[in-house]
Structure 1
Amino acid sequence: MKRGAGRQGGSRRNVNKILKLNTRDRNILLKTPFMASLGPTALAQMLEIATVTNYEARDLLFREGEHAEYFFCVLSGYVRLYRLNKDGREADIRVCGPGDTFAECLLAVGDTYRYNTQAAENVTVARFELDKVRALAEQEKDVAKAIIQCLSNYLRSTMDIVANDRLQTAPQRVAHYLLDHCPQDSPSASIRLPFQKSLLAGKLGLAPEALSRAFSSLRRAGVTVRGRVIQISDVSALKQI
């Protein structure tokens, strides 16, 4: 899909001053799969090398092909991962929210970023220098194991995404997303999207117009859309899609 370039065509703006972790940031990091598997010593060392930076909506964190210095964890807001072709068409890869990490695949191999990243809104991220984490992995077995486990989890989730994209229709993808965010055992639900519908379209591998058609087809299952708020009058009917 093709979107407005925003700040893509120009140079990336300077980020705010580098900050250290506050209590809230620390608590988010502690719940990430990468950090949660670390022992006390390795965890303390990882937290010590973490720095916090802010980006405004539509700022680029990095571009595909740039020299890779960091991997990241989102602390607030949403970050969009995507690729561009020579004609400027965009393909979304992933949408990362609070607690999600990205670019950690470069800890094992590679020295350039493999995709572009853009702040979908004002975001705060923790950054970890790749070289420092690699050196730490040589000393701390926990860090090395965490890297392997993280990459394994992403491989499995990517395989699930590929399979779902091939096996599910657009309405089924949307229905699956909505059901994942419905309260358990509730006959009806009201969901507020945490981001714009254009971002949801990319997250589900759909063009914006395909997402609109999917929502239209879900009306018969009791789904109505008003801005970011989605009302589901019959959860059981949605499960039959």
Structure 2
Amino acid sequence: MNKSLKVNSRDKALLVRTPFMSALSNEALLKMLNAATISSLPARHVVFREGTPADHFYCVLGGYVRLYRLNREGREADIRVCGPGDTFAECQIFGDDTYRFNAQTAENTTFARFDTRTVRTLAEQEPDIAKAIMACLSQHLLTTMDCVANDRLHTAQQRVAEYLLKNCPVSGGPASLRLPFQKNLLAGMLGLAPEALSRAFSSLRRIGVTVRGRVVQIGDVRALRDI
């Protein structure tokens, strides 16, 4: 990890707009900003490993971080992909003292780090901070419930279609969008093997969906919605 830096004006501007920070009072916000340090890591760098001391939680300012677990045979199970504005590992503030998953950068990434013990103390002093933590944890729980339901109720083709519709810039007609990260990362986020993702994209060609690199062309958004 590179040398940790204090929050500069640009970092502050990014942090105050994140869901975690935006609802804080001025006093609580200042305390959180003072508790933050800024770090940058190159692509595919390990942020932390499962089982190591959970001494920080994080807020992504730029880039993407992949959260996943490993079994004894080395098989990986993706949990979540965190992008700009997302927080992760805040469940450790009042939870176990070791991380329960691995975190790795998907590309060059900058994030703010917060010492868990410091934030635990601040949360006891500032109700706004405690509420912000609870709001993040609640959102993560709801998102996890949606992921479990989608895995059980939707086919691979439907999961891909739902992701494209969620990120589509228009509600009808033709559209074009660029995937924010490589397709293998998207596959893990959707709970699919890379081969299954490729098959799902291939099956969507019949309604005019084509993929070139990270660019996805949609012939008819309404037809995609009917999948």
TM bucket normalised to smaller: over 0.9
SS at match of 2:6: coil
CA distance in 2 between partners of 1:110 and 1:57 (Å): 28
- Provide the residue aligned with 1:98 in structure 2: 84
Q: TM-score, normalised by structure 2?
A: 0.97
- Provide the residue aligned with 1:57 in structure 2: 43
Query: Is the CA contact (8 Å cut-off) linking 2:40 and 2:110 kept in structure 1?
Result: yes
The Cα of 1:52 is off from its aligned counterpart by 0.4
Matched, 1:227 2:213: yes
The Cα of 1:22 is off from its aligned counterpart by 2.6
Q: Indicate which of 118, 121, 140 corresponds to 2:104.
A: 118
CA distance in 2 between partners of 1:165 and 1:23 (Å): 41
Matched, 1:172 2:158: yes
- Provide the residue aligned with 1:5 in structure 2: none
The Cα of 1:106 is off from its aligned counterpart by 0.8
CA distance in 1 between partners of 2:185 and 2:3 (Å): 28
- Provide the residue aligned with 1:151 in structure 2: 137
- Provide the residue aligned with 1:129 in structure 2: 115
**1:46 partner letter:** M
Matched, 1:69 2:55: yes
Q: Indicate which of 198, 201, 206 corresponds to 2:187.
A: 201
Identity of aligned residues (%): 66
SS at match of 2:176: strand
SS at match of 1:128: strand
The Cα of 1:23 is off from its aligned counterpart by 2.8
Query: Is the CA contact (8 Å cut-off) linking 2:169 and 2:177 kept in structure 1?
Result: no
The Cα of 1:184 is off from its aligned counterpart by 2.9
Matched, 1:181 2:163: no
**2:170 partner letter:** Q
* Per-residue CA distance 1:22-80 (angstroms, 9 max, x = gap): 33322221122221121110010001110001111111000000001100011111100
* Per-residue CA distance 1:138-175 (angstroms, 9 max, x = gap): 11111111122221121111111111111110000000
Moved more, 25-34 or 112-121: 25-34
**1:131 partner letter:** R
Aligned residues: 227
Within 5 Å, give how 1:23-34 maps onto structure 2: 23-34=9-20
- Provide the residue aligned with 1:139 in structure 2: 125
Q: TM-score, normalised by structure 1?
A: 0.92
**2:63 partner letter:** G
* Per-residue CA distance 1:171-192 (angstroms, 9 max, x = gap): 0000000011111334111111
